[in-house]
Each structure stands twice: as structure tokens, then as C-alpha cells.
A = this chain, B = another copy of it.
Amino acid sequence: MDERELLLLGLLSFQSQHGYQINEFIERNLARVTSMKKATAYAILDRLARDGYASVHTEQAGNRPPRKVYALTPRGEERFRELLRQSLVDPGESAIPGDVGLMFLDQLPRDEVIEGLRMRLARVDEQIAELEQVPPHGHGIGVDLAVEHKLVLLRADRDWLRGVITRLDAGSD
């Protein structure tokens, strides 16, 4: 159920890592996937170790601060697969925000609505353009599927937005 835990387990399933390393990776490469903050990641890693899903051993490189390296235990791998299965079946309610706003759309002058939706459309277009430039990932199809999924939904949103704007434009005679 918990996407954050799943993410950390997944990252550890590739290789053992220490918290700082994981946080760097998330910040650099996964900013659009998760918004988990560093303190949270440290806390969850701690919890994973307490629950027996990960083992910890401390490493020291030269005179640097000691690192706590986490490695998945067999139980942790099982936990990972369990959460993964769950997340495939039930990704959780995809809270589509903004629909509350749509509901009250009639309370606003039509041109303000159109202007607002145009700005929204522009942002969606940007996101699409950005995602389209993400190169294929290579290692398995999972990551590529995730990107593709986001793209598909964004394009559907874009097309719908265009349609709505057109209709509103036509109706404002």
C-alpha cells in the first residue's frame, strides 16, 4: 500500500545502498516520480531494518562520515514482491485534482474559464514535450512503461482540454 516503502525496497533490490546515496538518486532522477523528502527516506530505511526487511552494516571510507548500508534480506525481497503485486493490481485511487474546480466552472465568466484552461493546456503541452524527450531506458521495460503511462494520460488530458476549449469558444457567441 505504501508507495514510498515500495520505492525504497525497489531501489535496494537493485543494489545495497546507504541512505544518502538513495536520497541523491531520488533527487536527481526520480523527482517527478516521488516527492519523498530525505528525512522521510531515512526514517523508512530505519523502519525497514527494524522490521527485518533490510540488514544494516556500517561502512567507513577514509575519514568521511560513516555510512549505513542497507541490503534487502530474503524477507525484504518477499515483502518487495508482495507490495509490487499489490501496486500492480490496485495502484490506489488516482486522486484527480482539479475536478472539484470543474464542478463549479459555471460560476466564472466564460472568458475567464477559457483563459484559465488555455494556460492549463499550455502546461500540459510542456509536460508532454518534456516526457517525449526521455530516451528509452534499456534496463527492462518497466521504467519505459511508467513513462509511457504518464504520457498516455497526459495526451488524453490534452485532447480533452482542447475539446472543452473549442466547445466553450463555440458557445460564447
Please list the residues of chain A having a beta carbon within 8 angstroms of any beta carbon in chain B.
Answer: 3, 6-7, 10, 13, 33-34, 80-81, 83-85, 87-108, 112-113, 116-117, 119-120, 123, 139-143, 145-146, 148-150, 152-153, 155-157, 159-160, 164
Contacts and interface: CB of A to CB of B under 8 A. Distances in A.
How many copies of the polypeptide does the oligomer hold?
Answer: 2
Nearest to A117: B88
Nearest to A113: B88
7 contacts: A3-B101, A85-B116, A91-B98, A94-B153, A100-B146, A105-B145, A155-B156
Given A85-B112, A87-B101, A141-B106, A96 B153 contact: yes
A88 B98 contact: yes
Contacts of A120: 88-91
Contacts of A113: 88
A90 to B, nearest CB: 7
A2 B28 CA distance: 28
A83 to B, nearest CB: 8
A88 B108 CA distance: 11
Contact of A98 (B80, B87, B107): B87
B141 A100 contact: no
A97 B96 CA distance: 11
Contact of A97 (B80, B81, B94): B94
